[in-house]
Amino acid sequence: MTLQSVGIVGGGAWGTALAVSARRAGRDVMLWAYEPETIAEINQQHRNALYLPGVSLDPAIKATARLNEIAACDLVLMVTPAQEVRAIADELAPHMRTDQPLVIGAKGIEQSTGQLLSQVVAEVLPQVRTAVLSGPSFAAEIARGLPAALTLATASEAHGRALAHALSHASFRCYWSDDLAGAEIGAALKNVYAIAAGIVVGKKLGASAHAALVTRGFAEMMRFGAALGARRETMTGLSGLGDLILTCGSPQSRNMSLGSALGEGRSLGEVLKSRLSVTEGVYTASAVVEIAAARGIEMPIAQAVHAVVSGLATVDEAIEALLARPLRPEG
């Protein structure tokens, strides 16, 4: 399997960082972006100041507005906001080849259907070989070449190893797994708990409360993952616990910083209006709560986040409800 050329769908911070990383791995890189000014800046000035400021791009990284040029590459990475995956995959569909590798780098659950993104891709692009890339990774750090390790999940070990070899380099390590559901669930749910962790910080509830929140949030992730067929080792690995630790522990996280702003008393609309990038946990929360209700999964923290971001409860009401829950065994 020849995987020399990499096409990346999504010119935001994460897509651009993965373009930089793939180039470091020796790949030929083509990046699709929505905004004409972003395409021009990448091609002419070799930077993406809007989404990834302060990073110089290799002049060999090319940008395009044509999805057919992305589909012509050996390997395609889908790095759009989660709620846009279906629409853009539909545009890609006429151009993608049978058994062409497509790696999902987006993190979320489709709000309108409750489907994992691999399920969305399977519906719209049944001809491709789907993989999932997730794990603890901030775009700015990846672009700077700082060390990171991620999960690369796909059904076939041979396919997974080929993809890992194509995308990995000295400071970017991909560990293969065949548990796509587990890799996706951890990547999606950690954004919901990062909002909750940010609220704890914004409300100045202390480090003890933060540790308790993250730990109990992880217990919810494990229950949710088990109900949807994820393996325990995946949920406790890079794409589950690893990504949760990173996203709940740093203001670099868009989701945690949003939660912090909510905890400080700002409104959701006010915070989102000031942002260019999508805060995925806002959309994932409602999908997670709906799935949990249908399957009888107890997820009080996820429900509290959903209540806050959907306007069903204030931050103080959500905190009070969580603290008033009956005492019970931890396990």
User: Which residues are catalytically annotated?
Assistant: 190
Rounded to 5 degrees, φ, ψ at 187 are: -65, -35
Which token pair is 137? 């990774």
Question: Which amino acid is residue 202, in one-letter code?
Answer: G
Measure the CA–CA gap between 154 and 90, rounded to whole angstroms.
21
Angle at 130 between CA 19 and CA 2, to 5 degrees: 60
Do residues 146 and 17 lie in contact, with contact meaning Cβ atoms separated by under 8 Å?
A: no
Measure the CA–CA gap between 267 and 76, rounded to whole angstroms.
37
Cβ atoms within 10 Å of 324's Cβ, excluding its own:
7
Measure the CA–CA gap between 127 and 134, rounded to whole angstroms.
22
Measure the CA–CA gap between 94 and 89, rounded to whole angstroms.
10
